[in-house]
Structure 1
Amino acid sequence: MNSAVTLIRSAALSDAAEYAYAATVPAGTRLIFPAGACPLEKDGTTAAVGDYAGQAAVCVANLRTALAEAGAGLTDVVSTRVLVASSSQDDLVAAWEVVRDAFGDHDVPSTLLGVTVLGYDDQLVEIEAVAAVHDR
């Protein structure tokens, strides 16, 4: 299935960004709003305690699962917001690199934020996403 998402790039904006600056979806597209993907194991425990990159990887895996349940994949994601519980730019970058690499060429518009705390014990990373698929 072809993705409903069109990524928009701009030669007028900085080329330092590792993502497209905007994305569009056509009318009649079904939007998917998964809950924030957290670094939780199936038993509810927090994975990769103390490891920003490790938690980001679990978040991506959990996002893939949630999207698949809704009939979508990472290439159907329109945008992401990556939340990292840290004030250190190095920690944010460690999480971001995992997310960026998971999306590969589908470099969706993204926001990377340092936050003070997230909802689960020992949680360091959460990924919010919006996806779109062609209506069946």
Structure 2
Amino acid sequence: MPRAVTLIRSGSLSDVAEYAYAATAPAEARLVFLAGACPLNEDGSTAAKGDYAGQAAKAVENMRTALADAGASIEDVIGTRVLVASSRREDLVTAWEVVRDAFGDHDVPSTLMGVTVLGYDDQLVEVEAVAAVLDS
């Protein structure tokens, strides 16, 4: 299936970033806006309490499920926002590395943010995403 998302890299900006700086989708693409994927188990409990990497992995797993339910996949994501409940850069990087690795070569534009608190008990990570899909 053809993909709608085109990643854009800039030769004018630093190449230190581990993601494309921009992405586009054609006008005929259907946009899918996901609520933040949380590290919740099926029973509603928080997965991997105290573990930034474990929670990031569970959030990505749940994001993949939500994408599939919307007729999309991780390769259709056009941008993300990764929220980490910490003021420590090391914790943000730990969560980011899990999310980055999950996307592989599809290194979409992303924003990584440290926040004070997230919505569920013991929640440390949340991943928001927007996808663009060309329906056949």
User: Normalised by the size of structure 2, how large is the TM-score?
Assistant: 0.99
State how far apart, in whole Å, the 2-side matches of 1:33 and 1:26 are: 16
1:64 paired to 2:64: yes
Whichever residue aligns with residue 134 of structure 2, its letter is H
Identity of aligned residues (%): 76
> C-alpha offsets along residues 42-99 of structure 1, whole Å, 9 cap, x if unaligned?
0000000000000000000000000000010000000000000000000000000000
Q: Cα offset for 1:3?
A: 1.4
User: For structure 1, which runs of at least 5 residues remain unmatched after alignment?
Assistant: none
Q: CA RMSD in A?
A: 0.5
Correspondence list, 1:116-127, <5 A:
116-127=116-127
Structure 1 segments (4+ residues) deviating >6 Å: none
Count of residues in correspondence between the two structures: 136
**Corresponding residue for 2:27?**
27
SS at match of 1:60: helix
2:106 matched residue in structure 1: 106
Structure 2: stretches of 5+ with no match in the other structure: none
**Aligned twin of 1:14:** 14
Secondary structure of 1:34's counterpart equals: strand
